[in-house]
């Protein structure tokens, strides 16, 4: 076993265990059939397949099957080296990481209509907070003393996040050929906007110097949540999602420099 700890990490998730079991018993299966068996959303299935990318492959008919490493992984599961009841100790750092990325919350977006009202509410809370605090929003940044009226500030805030949604749709297609699952991605991004939606209220009631430190912390958390949103919304691995998030951040900063906002 070349990396037993990684095998344990992969098999800790019941959906990934089930995928390995299905491919181990059926040998190969198409995406549509696999999704029906798992009962999960498109983005979630893609995410788990991406996590298992070193252990699976596709044949000429685009059906999934285990490769040599995947068959070794299946043997680990079948022989009981990893307890099927998941009695594997979960490290404290892993639990903290899951909640830092709000993974349990994003996992519920498999049925996006359930969380879509909450996502929209978070966006509206951030938009109205920006307007009350008289802050121009620029996705991951805020600038005081807005030149827009109340309605204009609200509109600007909403359009920032819609712009990020459209950017993610385009970028994930160009880089990873991911299409569809738009509603889940939008619901995830609405949830991911929570740290930035919270900041205007901090700004209203906290000294200006201290609020900048709070903003920095919220920017980092927001970047992590946006990465998690791409993971669950478009079904890509975290390392790939972070590439998209950092690109969005870079373009955000570059545009603000061109507009002279950092002068």
Each domain of the chain, given as residue ranges in start order, spans: 4-89, 96-258
Report d(CA 73, CA 88) in Å as an integer.
16
pLDDT attached to residue 68: 86
Nearest of 101, 95, 107 to residue 245 by alpha carbon: 101
Q: How many residues does the chain have?
A: 263
pLDDT attached to residue 9: 64
pLDDT in tens, 6-61: 566 677 778 888 888 888 888 788 888 888 888 877 777 887 888 888 888 888 88
Query: Considering the entire predicted model, what is its pTM?
Result: 0.77
pLDDT in tens, 213-252: 999 999 999 999 999 999 888 888 888 889 999 999 999 9
Q: Where are the beta strands (DSSP E) in the chain?
A: 28-29, 56-58, 64-66, 135-138, 141-144
**In this prediction, what percent of the chain has a pLDDT beyond 70?**
89
Q: Which fold has domain 4-89?
A: Arc Repressor Mutant, subunit A (1.10.10)
């Amino acid at each position: 076993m070349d990396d037993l700890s990684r095998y344990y990490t992969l098999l800790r998730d019941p959906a990934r265990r089930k995928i390995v079991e299905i491919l181990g018993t059926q040998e190969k299966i198409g995406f549509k059939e696999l999704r029906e068996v798992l009962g999960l959303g498109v983005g979630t299935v893609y995410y788990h397949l991406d996590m298992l990318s070193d252990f699976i492959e596709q044949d000429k008919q685009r059906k999934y099957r285990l490769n040599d490493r995947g068959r070794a992984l299946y043997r680990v599961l079948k022989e009981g080296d990893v307890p099927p009841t998941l009695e594997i100790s979960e490290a404290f750092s892993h639990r903290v990481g899951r909640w830092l990325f709000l993974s349990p919350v994003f996992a519920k977006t498999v049925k996006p209509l359930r969380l879509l009202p909450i996502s929209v509410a978070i966006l509206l809370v951030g938009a109205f907070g920006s307007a009350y605090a008289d802050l121009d929003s620029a996705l991951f940044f805020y600038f005081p003393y807005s030149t827009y009226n109340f309605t204009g500030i609200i509109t600007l805030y909403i359009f920032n996040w819609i712009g990020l949604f459209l950017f993610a749709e385009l970028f994930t297609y160009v880089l990873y050929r991911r299409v569809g699952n738009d509603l889940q991605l939008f619901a995830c991004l609405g949830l991911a906007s929570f740290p930035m939606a919270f900041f205007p209220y901090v700004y209203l009631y906290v000294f200006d110097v201290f609020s900048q430190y709070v903003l920095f912390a919220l920017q980092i958390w927001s970047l992590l949540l946006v990465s998690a949103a791409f993971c669950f919304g478009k079904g890509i691995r975290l390392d790939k999602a972070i590439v998209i998030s950092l690109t969005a951040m870079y373009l955000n900063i570059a545009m603000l420099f061109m507009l002279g906002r950092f002068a």
